Amino acid sequence: MSNVLAFDLGASSGRALLGRLVGGKIEVEELHRFPNDPVQVGDRLHWDILRLYHEIKQGLLKAKHHGIELQSMAIDSWAVDFGFIGKNGELVGNPYHYRDRHTDGAMESLFAEIPPSVIFARTGIQFLPFNTIYQLYALKQAKSPLLNEGNRFLMIPDLLRYFLTGQIHNEFTNATTTQLYNPIEKSWDAELLRMLELPKSWFGDVLQPGAKAGNLQASVCEELGIGSIPVYAVAEHDTGSAVAAVPATEGSFAYLSCGTWSLMGTEVDKPVLHDLAQKLNFTNEGGVADTYRLLKNIMGLWVLQECRREWDREGKSYSFPELVQMAGAAKPFASFIDPDDSEFLPPGDMPSRIADYCRKTGQEPPKTVGEFVRCILESLALKYRYVFELTERLSVQRFNGLHMVGGGIQNELLCQWTANAIGKPVLAGPSEGSAIGNLAVQWIAQGEFADIWEARRVIRESFPIKIYEPEERDDWGRAYDRFRILTGLAE
């Protein structure tokens, strides 16, 4: 029996998932789950990276206490964020959270020095204000001491691997999200680093998913009372791991990784770098098996999560199933938002911002909790159709349906409304896509699976897939036309 451990870190929580291969199928067991709360210090918003490291060690201890002998472990997380290791080998400062406001205006300021067309042609990455390139530029503009003290640049899984193994490596799927990696040259882009005056020495060798990144170092083994195990670099951007777990049967497929963020796209052999891809603000992020993920970020369930937090602060606590039930009972197609409007990116009073958006676009704002939730979920489903059609256009493909993976598939109303919106079946599952993709790449590295397609076949046979057939096509078609006009997405 091959026991491997996947640490899957999301923007709000993390988990340690034990994977076993039993009788040709995958069995998973959650050993440890923990919150991942950002920390506000003064005006800055940080990740609590040392708490995350502590929780990873707790996951390893729980495996030990269950009497589990591990063959390997790996970590995946969100993208773009990073920390620096100093000359003494220690972490310099706490990594900033991508929602911190220090990047406000940085993207636009950088465009005055380097045209967007140059950046896209060299990296193929969509323009998001929190991308790593703009975070680093903002630090330079602020003359941050981090830049003087830092010696090596490591992204979140890179940092945690370094704490565990003492080995410094960058990983491919996460490196591509920085907007500093050149997919044609297959290396950090030396010209962009020169124009930004960033030292090339900060950016190290880039490991492909499946490469061994080291072993648990002696100090960790001694502290936890465990033996050393291999630590692999998987698709360490969690979307890369989620796409690895898509149970597709054919090479041409569309996917939606649905959680705090939604990411929709398809898998391609080469990055799509032409002008239309830049105009539509698509991205080409690294994937497994020398592929790229042609995709677009969509704000996702963040908007609903922030509404729920605000209602909690007001003393009105609702479970997600309660919110979904209230949405189902509310009037359909009463109001729409563009979930990707910049107003919805920061944390804070989300219901007020939704109401303001509706007033600005000539709509009656939602009033009840159910109306707010219905507005969010319907708008998400309609935005999914918009991006789905753009993905077909850019990739010159026609998809028979949409694979949905991730925790968002537990919202069956959203799955059904997505099928209604795109007018094609939605195949939902597995829900723990990122963690399962993490496990799968470890098993490929160990020779348990021949390649990613065998892994996908085993995933398909191991986890239930629920199919949602489209309904009410005419109503959703008319709603889509109104949605595009109200949100300014109509061409």
pLDDT digits (tens, 9 = 90+) for 281-332: 999 999 999 999 999 999 999 999 999 999 999 999 999 999 999 999 999 9
- Residue 372, SS3 per DSSP: helix
Residue 491, pLDDT > 80, answer: no
Catalytic positions, written as ranges: 238
CA distance 36 to 292: 28
Q: Note the pLDDT of residue 216.
A: 98
pLDDT at 1 over 90: no
pLDDT of residue 422: 98
287-312 burial, b at 16+ Cβ within 10 Å, e below that, comes to: bbbebbbbbbbbbbbbbbbbbbebbe
Is 250's pLDDT higher than 90? no
- Residue ranges of alpha helices (H) inside 316-368 are 320-329, 350-360
CATH of 3-237, one of 2.120.10.30, 3.40.190.10, 3.40.50.1980, 3.30.420.40: 3.30.420.40
Query: Average pLDDT of 370-396?
Result: 97
pLDDT score at 131: 98
Q: Which residue has the higher pLDDT, 286 or 407?
A: 286
- Across 270-329, the runs of DSSP E, i.e. the strands, are 283-286, 292-298
Confidence label for 11 from pLDDT (cuts 50, 70 and 90): confident
Q: What is the pLDDT of residue 77?
A: 98
Q: How far apart are CA 134 and CA 155, in angstroms?
A: 15
And the tokens for 40? 């506000």
Q: Are strands 402-405 and 254-258 parallel, antiparallel or unpaired?
A: parallel
Domains 3-237 and 246-429+450-491 share a fold: yes
* Share of residues in the chain with pLDDT > 90 (%): 97
- pTM for the complete prediction? 0.92
- pLDDT value of position 435: 97
Where does the pLDDT of residue 12 fall: very low under 50, low under 70, confident under 90, or very high at 90 and above?
Answer: confident
Delimit the domains of the chain by residue range. 3-237, 246-429+450-491
Tokens at 371, concatenated:
């109306």
Instruction: Say what the pLDDT of residue 115 is.
Output: 97
In angstroms, what CA-CA distances link 276 with 117, 264, 382? 11, 17, 22
The pLDDT, as a whole number, for residue 318 is 97
Q: Are 131 and 124 in contact (CB under 8 A)?
A: no
User: Is 90 exceeded by the pLDDT of residue 207?
Assistant: yes
pLDDT at 251: 86
Mean pLDDT of the chain: 96
50 Cβ contact partners less than 8 Å away, ≥ 6 residues apart: none
DSSP state of 43: T
Q: How far apart are CA 440 and CA 448, in angstroms?
A: 9
CATH of domain 246-429+450-491: 3.30.420.40
Query: Using one digit for the tens of pLDDT, what is the confidence trace for 54-113?
Result: 999 999 999 999 999 999 999 999 999 999 999 999 999 999 999 999 999 999 999 999
156 residue type, one letter = I
Nearest to 350, CA basis, from 319, 358, 256, 328: 358
CA distances from 132 to 210, 426, 489 (A): 24, 33, 27
Asked if pLDDT for residue 116 goes beyond 80, the answer is yes
Averaged pLDDT, 12-38: 96
Q: Give mean pLDDT, residues 216-226.
A: 98
